Amino acid sequence: MLLISLAAGTSVARGSAANYSVLPYVGSEVLSASPAAPIPEPFFYGKSHRQYFGDDRTIRLLGQLALKAPNPLVRQRAVLDLSKTNNSNAIEILKKALDDQDYHVRCAAALALCQFLPEKALGLLKDTLEKACSNISTYPKQADLTGLIRAVRYIKQPVLAEPLMKLLKHPDPTIRTDVLNTLSEMEKSPSSQVLGELINDKSASVRLAAVKNAAFAKHDAKLITLLEKIIGNDRELPAIRSQALSSLAKLGPPERLDKTILSLSKNPNPLIRIGAVRVLAVRGYRKRIQQLLYDSSTPVRLEAVRAAGKLKIVESTDRLFQILIDTPPKQLHQAARIALEEISTQDVAKKAGELFVKIKDQYLKIIKKLREKMTTKEWLTLNRKRLKLARNLASLSYILTTLKSYEAYDERIDLLNKVGVLDPVLKDIAASLGQFGDKRASKSIKKRLIDCADYTLWALRQTYLDPIHPKPVPEDNSSALIEAAVILQIYDALPVIMRFSSMGFERYRAKRSGWTADMMMPALVDEKTRPIVIDELRKQLRRRYAPIRCKFESAKSLGKLKATEALNDLRWLLEDGYDKRLMIAAAWAIQQITGKTPSIGQPRPYPGDWIIKSIEEVPYYIPTPSKEQKKTNPSSKM
């Protein structure tokens, strides 16, 4: 019996820590004699676990199902699996799948192409789109065209905008709406005549999308007149009128509309008030915007806060601080912080310093009180208050850093010294002190870095001993302290940072702080520490349980240091083929060291949860054990 199995596609692991110096043969020469194109500096993308990769054999097996399986659901699943193989050889199969009889399969093929590099899939998507526009009957189903439009929206290439605009004449309003929304995301707009027809469309969804797209159109008197009519039409939907106001704000509202806009800013519907605020910001109505900072609607206040920052309304400083400290919504809080940074006056810095000192004392008292005995309900209430104060302290610290103000500077350092290594405010205080650039904070940052390193190692050991109850690790706080130490050039903190690079206990390792250390170490290297740092980075490449991103950043750092002694390790990483991202990082590092660009082969197969990876023979039945086997088998007596 033949059975589709998930077992194949696996391969024997190469290059373990024990034999790292041996360069294994991968199946083809990775370092070729022919010149390769220079590799730009790579940056880590995706998740930090190993990427799936399907070799050519897997592509062929999936291709057979994608093109020949009688069940369209099987073909659709095979097409979607091809998009996860990270192998560009799958594009030829997807090209054929675009002409499948079933529209589900065609839709899946269009979306699958988006998972590959744009230069390889762009031409194919463009041809498919032009074919769909020239002959609508080829794509009779609405979902068929919707899938193709989604693919264009995902890839966001300007060259696809022109053929996409041809679908604006499609009879289905859903298609017209999707096309307009896609063009808006690409910041492209059709001609004023076509856009004007769509603004007057019978479908409300099309009108809304067309009015939104008008913000990206060229300045045209007829288009502005159309938007004016929508704004003044009380029978039109509030969402469409609000969007018309927003588009008019970007196109440039005429002066004759000022009275209308002022009256609309008092409209009972908050959607219309939001649009009015955007126009008022362009026209510079500072007093009215100040009044709207007290609006009952949170979205309206949000737009008013943004407008106050752009116009630098100094008179709104007190109200903005009130919103910053008391407002629960995170988006409104962040907008108030940005607005205060944009206003950027001495009064803002002074007020921020006073509030920081006041809130800091409250925060430390709450931390102390949380250690006392209390009911669960009391603890949760107090902890919510603590988190709110931590958010406010972080924002005030960033405001003072942006304004380059020494207000409450000693208080910020004092808070850094007093909070625990797991405290959420530690990350933001450390980051803001690092960005501030004053080396007076160096001693405290180094001390807290040592505290985080000691605690992290203890937490990893405890997690290994009791994995059911893992201990929290201050990854974010440690990373912020490492970055602050590098910005302040604290050279004597390098040994502590190197501890994070090797931090781990068995398979439990420091992840984010580890790769931050690997990435930042070259900035603190001098002639004495260079050999030690290079040796540590080479060890990181060979560690069995080191996260992929740690190895990625270590390879890049070796390239930046031009470490010729690490060439064998980098070539091993390139030829081992464990992950494509590691291969690219190793190739870039070799290029930086030798001046020659190596070619990059295929990584080792690593199967995902795909519909097929191999075919193997299994028996029709499970043979029953004989009597002799039962006698010798202890489990049969139980």
| Residue 127 predicted with pLDDT over 90 | no
Q: How far apart are CA 35 and CA 111, in angstroms?
A: 34
Distance in angstroms (rounded) separating the CA atoms of residues 440 and 470? 36
CA-based torsion, 608, 610, 614, 615: positive or negative: positive
Contact status, residue 535 vs residue 551, Cβ threshold 8 Å:
no
336 contacts: CB under 8 Å, gap ≥ 6? 305, 320, 321, 323, 324, 327
Residue-wise pLDDT tens digits, 156-189 = 888 888 888 988 888 889 999 999 999 999 999 9
Q: What is the per-residue pLDDT across 313-328, written as a single tens digit (0 to 9) for each?
A: 999 999 999 999 998 8
Q: Are 446 and 485 in contact (CB under 8 A)?
A: yes
Structure pTM? Answer: 0.83
Average pLDDT, the chain: 86
pLDDT average, residue stretch 451-465: 93
- The pLDDT score that the predictor gives to residue 504 is 80
Digit-coded pLDDT (tens) for 541-575: 988 888 999 999 999 999 999 999 999 999 999 99
pLDDT in tens, 32-53: 333 467 889 999 988 888 888 9
Choice between 73 and 138, residue whose per-residue pLDDT is larger: 73
Residue 612 has pLDDT above 60, yes or no: yes
**Mean pLDDT to the nearest integer, 193-213:** 93
CA angle 367, 371, 374 (to 5 degrees): 115
Contact 538, 569 (CB under 8 A): yes
Counting every residue written for the chain, the total comes to 638
**pLDDT confidence band for 141 (50 / 70 / 90):** low
Greater model confidence, 502 or 627: 502
Residue type, 404: K
CA distance 324 to 340: 9
CB neighbour class for 154 (10 Å; exposed up to 12, middle 13-18, buried from 19): middle
600 or 23, higher pLDDT: 600
Count CB neighbours of 591 within 10 A: 19
Q: Which of 551, 460, 560, 548 is nearest to 510 (CA)?
A: 460
Q: Residue 140 — pLDDT band, cuts 50, 70, 90?
A: low
CA distances from 151 to 87, 135, 538, 561 (A): 19, 19, 42, 41
Residue 510, phi-psi category: left (phi > 0), alpha (psi -120 to 50), beta (remainder): beta
User: Is pLDDT larger for residue 488 or for residue 144?
Assistant: 488
Q: Side chain identity at 215, as an amino acid letter? A: A
Residues 232, 225: Cα–Cα separation, whole Å = 11
Beta strands in 454-541 (DSSP E): 504-505, 508-509
Higher local confidence (pLDDT), 230 or 621: 230
- Per residue in 368-401, pLDDT tens? 999 998 999 999 999 999 999 999 999 999 999 9
Least confident of 263-272, 487-496, 497-506: 497-506
pLDDT of 136: 62
Q: Which residues contact 525 (CB under 8 A, 6 or more apart)?
A: 494, 533, 561
% residues pLDDT > 90 (the chain) = 62
Burial of 349 (0-12, 13-18, 19+ CB in 10 A): buried
Long-range Cβ contacts of 193-201 (<8 Å, 24+ apart):
194/165, 194/168, 195/223, 196/222, 196/223, 196/226, 198/168, 199/226, 199/227, 199/230, 200/226, 201/173, 201/176
Q: Look at residues 320, 316, 245 and name the one whose alpha carbon lies nearest to residue 283.
A: 245
- Give the pLDDT confidence score for residue 12 in this predicted structure: 31
Q: What is the CA radius of gyration of the chain?
A: 31
**Model pLDDT for residues 84-122, shown as the tens digit of each residue:** 998 889 999 999 998 888 888 988 999 999 888 888 888
Q: Give the pLDDT band (50/70/90) at residue 124.
A: confident
Q: Are 320 and 305 in contact (CB under 8 A)?
A: yes
